[in-house]
Structure formats: structure tokens, C-alpha cells
């Protein structure tokens, strides 16, 4: 399950105490995830804005400590470069694109400035038709845009066992949606990580700590584009 900290974003609104109810609803999920350094104390910082990373186990950081998952590493990299942005890990292991779509309105209601959307890998592993995945992702992106949230869409590729036609159609979902909706696009979240035994856990699917470090580096320039866009506080 995930828990989201109550803190003020750039829109001047507290992320409210819905977290207790939401965590109860997600009690069946496998672990807690929240980006940002643990064990901090003292006054809460004044953030320039809030980023929510929406995704499945690749975002949640299944099998590793929360501080080693890429959203936490992204938060620390932003901070080290002088960008004081809160990064919230809203990854849920096992989630499909339909599940992500189902909670997008709730995500949007928290009024983040930026949402990183990573979804669809579990759909692909289950052989869900690419047209269905594309429609779910398109609707999710549209809802976020309608809420005036900057979207960073993470592209995904699929294993070859479902055949070349399915693999091609799946991979085409992300650049097509990004172009049609005019959002920031990460071509492949797992670039340099997928298929590399030294960068993945024993299941060969989920990145280890070193893999998440590379993912954070892949995501960073695209998020930097979002947080430095005209009108953003720097």
C-alpha cells in the first residue's frame, strides 16, 4: 500500500488526511512506499511543487527499500540540483492500466503540479489488447490535463513471447498517445535496465537498487523539463 504525506504544494493546498482511509482501502497491497528521505524531523519544508509518480511495481519499488526506488532517488537528485519539489510514490504493485485510470480522478483531486504516469506493463504480460491499453492511458492523460496537471508519460516495451505483432502494437501505444495528447514523453522507462541480469532481481523483471538508479537518471531530464516549464517557480 502507499501513504502520501500531508504537506503543502505550490498550489497552496494541503495534501489532506485522506491517506488513512486510502491506505485502509489498499490494505491488500504488498508494501508501503513514499518518496523522500526517511527519519526527517523539524518543520516541513516549503516545496516549490508536488510530483506524483503513478505506476505499478516498477514505480513502487517491489523488492527493495523505499528510499532506493526511483521516485525517492528522483527527489534527492532534484534537491541536489536546487529544485525543492516533493515527490510522492503512488506505485501499486500489480496494477494494470484500467486500475490506474480508476484512480486518476483521485490523484488529480490532490492537485499535484506534475504526474509521472507509468502503466501498462502488467497489461502486456496478461495479453490485454493494445487498443484497450491505449484507450485507458489516453483517458488517464486527458483527465490529468483537464485538471491542469503537467503529464510525463513513461513508455514501456514488452517481452517477445506474445509475438512480433503484439509487441509492436504495444510499443506503439506510448509515442502515439504522447504525440496526440502533447505531453512530455520518456521513450522507455527501463532503458539500459531491461534484460540486464546485474540490474534486476532474481525474477529478471523487477529492477534492483542499481537498476532503479539508472531509471532515476532516465526519468530526470524529462521531469526537469516539467518543473522548469514557463510559469513554474524555480
Catalytic residues: 57, 203, 206
Q: In terms of C-beta density within 10 A (0-12 exposed, 13-18 middle, 19 or more buried), how is residue 115 classed? A: buried
End-to-end CA distance of the chain: 32
Share of the chain above pLDDT 90, in %: 76
Following DSSP, what letter does each residue of 110-153 receive, concatenated? T--SEEEE---HHHHHTT--HHHHHHHHHHHHHHHHHTT-EEEE
For residue 44, what is the DSSP state? P
Looking at residue 113, its pLDDT comes to 98
For residue 206, what is the DSSP state? S
Looking at residue 29, its pLDDT comes to 38
What does the pLDDT average to over 139-144? 98
Query: In which order are the strands placed within the sheet that holds 150-154?
Result: 85-91, 49-55, 114-117, 150-154, 184-186
What does the pLDDT average to over 204-230? 96
What does the pLDDT average to over 197-220? 98
Q: With contact defined as beta carbons under 8 Å apart, do 107 and 210 qualify?
A: no
Enumerate the domain spans of the chain: 19-37+47-227
Looking at residue 233, its pLDDT comes to 55
Looking at residue 100, its pLDDT comes to 98
Could you confirm whether domain 19-37+47-227 is CATH 3.40.50.1110? yes
Looking at residue 27, its pLDDT comes to 35
Confidence of residue 41 (pLDDT cuts 50, 70, 90): low
Tell me the Cα Rg of the chain. 17
- For residue 35, is pLDDT > 60? no
- For residue 7, is pLDDT > 90? no
Q: CA of 167: how far to CAs of 18, 44, 135, in Å? A: 39, 45, 17
SS3 90: strand
- For residue 143, is pLDDT > 50? yes
Share of the chain above pLDDT 70, in %: 79
- For residue 117, is pLDDT > 60? yes
What does the pLDDT average to over 24-28? 35
The grid cell for 200 is: 534486476
186 bridge partner residues: 154
81 bridge partner residues: none
Q: CA of 121: how far to CAs of 79, 132, 173, in Å? A: 29, 13, 12
- For residue 16, is pLDDT > 50? no
Q: CA of 225: how far to CAs of 52, 83, 136, in Å? A: 15, 12, 25
What does the pLDDT average to over 79-97? 97
Number of other CB atoms surrounding residue 75 within 10 Å: 24
What does the pLDDT average to over 127-132? 97
What does the pLDDT average to over 210-230? 96
What does the pLDDT average to over 87-99? 98
Arithmetic mean of pLDDT over the chain = 85
SS3 89: strand
Region of poorest pLDDT, from 21-30, 35-44, 157-166: 21-30
Looking at residue 26, its pLDDT comes to 38
Interval 45-61: pLDDT, tens: 688 999 999 999 999 99
- For residue 154, is pLDDT > 80? yes
Amino acid at each position: 500500500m502507499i501513504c502520501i504525506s500531508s504537506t503543502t504544494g505550490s498550489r497552496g493546498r494541503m495534501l489532506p488526511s485522506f491517506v488513512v482511509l486510502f491506505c485502509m482501502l489498499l490494505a491488500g497491497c504488498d508494501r508501503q512506499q513514499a518518496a523522500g528521505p526517511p527519519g526527517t524531523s523539524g518543520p516541513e519544508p516549503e516545496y516549490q511543487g508536488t510530483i506524483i509518480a503513478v505506476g505499478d511495481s516498477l514505480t513502487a519499488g517491489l523488492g527493495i527499500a523505499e528510499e532506493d526506488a526511483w521516485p525517492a532517488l528522483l527527489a534527492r537528485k532534484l534537491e541536489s540540483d536546487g529544485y525543492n519539489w516533493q515527490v510522492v510514490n503512488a506505485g501499486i504493485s500489480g496494477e494494470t492500466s484500467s486500475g490506474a485510470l480508476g484512480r486518476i480522478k483521485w490523484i488529480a483531486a490532490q492537485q499535484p503540479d506534475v504526474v509521472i504516469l507509468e502503466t501498462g506493463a502488467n497489461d502486456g504480460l496478461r495479453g490485454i489488447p493494445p487498443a484497450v491499453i491505449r484507450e485507458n492511458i489516453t483517458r488517464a492523460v486527458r483527465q490529468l490535463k483537464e485538471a491542469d496537471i503537467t503529464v510525463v508519460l513513461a513508455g514501456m516495451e514488452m517481452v517477445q513471447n506474445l509475438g512480433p505483432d503484439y509487441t509492436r502494437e504495444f510499443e506503439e501505444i506510448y509515442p502515439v498517445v504522447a504525440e496526440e495528447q502533447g505531453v512530455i514523453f520518456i521513450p522507455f522507462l527501463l532503458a539500459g535496465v531491461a534484460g540486464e541480469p546485474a540490474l534486476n532481481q532474481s525474477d529478471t523483471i523487477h529492477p534492483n537498487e542499481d537498476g532503479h538508479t539508472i531509471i532515476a537518471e532516465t526519468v530526470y531530464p524529462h521531469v526537469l523539463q516539467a518543473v522548469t516549464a514557463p510559469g513554474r517557480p524555480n
